Amino acid sequence: MTPLAQTALDFARECLKWRKAEFSGTSHTELMWFNAPGGIRFLRFGDLSAVMSAVREWCDRTGCRIEMHYSPDQNGFGVLCEGVDTWDADPCHALLEACVEASRKLKIA
């Protein structure tokens, strides 16, 4: 499993509360949740638009602010969320990782 796939699974289970999220078929680029209210839900975690939508849902529910920027010096994207600062060349991974770490931090506080 890639680091992005593991982070996406953690995000789905911990942030979106998709406790039984799993990978869609043989694909390791999409998660699904069969028992979602209203049917099956999907998260294409390599698609920035889909990730932004999922992150927005989490931010709206938790009241968290999130900021993302790109730095050529860091050769990647930085995301700041609730005092958690993550960097990754992949913006999807940076966003999901920041939310997972912020969610864990908020549970401890």
Domain boundaries, the chain: 3-108
Which run of H or E residues covers position 71?
A: strand 66-71
CA separation for the pair 109, 105 (Å, rounded): 6
pLDDT tens for the chain, 109 residues long, are 889 889 998 999 999 988 877 777 666 677 776 665 666 778 889 999 999 999 999 999 999 999 999 999 988 999 999 899 999 999 999 999 999 999 999 887 5
Predicted TM-score of the model (pTM): 0.87
42 contacts 36 by C-beta, under 8 angstroms: no
55 contacts 96 by C-beta, under 8 angstroms: yes
